[in-house]
Structure 1
Amino acid sequence: MVQLLGEFDCKLDAKGRLMVPSGLKKQLPNVDQEGLVVNRGFEKHLVIYPKKVWEGIVEELSKLNQFEKKTREFIRFFTRGATELTLDSAGRVNLPKSLLEFAGIDTEVVLACQFDKIELWSKSAYDSLMDSEPEDFANLAEDVMGNKKRGEDGN
């Protein structure tokens, strides 16, 4: 399983290309051959997946009951705008203009790694989101993680 770490401040060039930071590229050793997929996030941001991770998501989506309206609707909106990305010889990816407009991204961006995906935010939106950290983060942690069972050894 892919385990991506880090937060990277980047800039898009005038053509909407993103230089993949070397620290991130090292965590994606086969990215030149396998590629990436970019998609809309649930909030106003984009999500970049290693191609194999995206293929696993699509496999899960294909198992859903497409005779149900809410399922079709979810799949339609979730996959809307999904685009394969390939790195050029300079290590850049060209991000689709429609996705950049959706996320309100212009030049300055933040790449925020989360497990097996990379969230791509406009720098101002990301800074605003992080500035709104819950007043009592410990309570949020307890609400989200407090009922999780620990290992059998009690840890």
Structure 2
Amino acid sequence: MPAFSGEYECKLDAKGRLVLPAKIKAALPPESAETIVLTRGFEPCIILYSLVHWKELSERVIALNEFVEEYRTFQRNFFRGNTEVELDSAGRFLVPRTMLKYANIEKDAIVVGAGNRVEIWQPDAYEAALVQDSKQFSQMAERVFGREGNL
């Protein structure tokens, strides 16, 4: 499955629809190219998953032991407000108002390919979430991958 990547400046239309950037749309698996899943991110953003990846991910969450309080709480929050949406012929999709409010998106948005998912951010919040110092990013990469650089 191709990975999502890149940053795209987008605008919502008056009806709250967003056009999925062509390169993001092209990376959707063919079996789920017309339906996507939107959910709240851990940060104040909206996460977009392909339907195929969403099904795999949700199966893992469903498999958690519901008799463990932390798992129940996680499941409840993970599944709350998720929405399957259809892409129209122009690649547009309607973003639910509750999700726009959660991510503080009014008109302008940044659509970011993030590997297995796409993140939709309010531009200022996105900038604030990024590592601004290249040395700090380098040190983070060293911690994540180790000194040997094993990927």
Same fold (TM over 0.5): yes
Which consecutive segments of 4 or more residues in structure 1 shift more than 6 A?
A: none
1:64 matched residue in structure 2: 64
Amino acid at match of 1:49: Y
Larger Rg: 1
Quick one: percent identity of the two aligned structures?
Answer: 36
Shift of 1:132: 3.9
- In 1, are the aligned partners of 2:49 and 2:118 still within 8 Å (CA)? yes
How far did residue 77 of structure 1 move?
0.7
Deviation by residue 1:47-83 (Cα, 9 ceiling, x = unmatched): 0000000000111012110011111100111111100
Structure 1 residues not aligned, in runs of 5+? none
Q: CA RMSD in A?
A: 2.0
Is the CA contact (8 Å cut-off) linking 1:134 and 1:140 kept in structure 2? no
- Kindly indicate whether the alpha-carbon contact (under 8 Å) linking 1:37 and 1:54 is maintained by their aligned counterparts in 2: yes
Matched, 1:121 2:90: no
Partner AA of 1:92 in structure 2 = R
Q: Aligned AA for 1:139?
A: Q
Q: Is the 8 A contact 1:32 1:86 kept in 2?
A: no
Q: Distance in 2 between matches of 1:148 and 1:86?
A: 44
* Pair 149,136 (structure 1): closer, same or farther in 2 beyond 3 Å: closer
Distance 2:43 2:134 in 1: 17
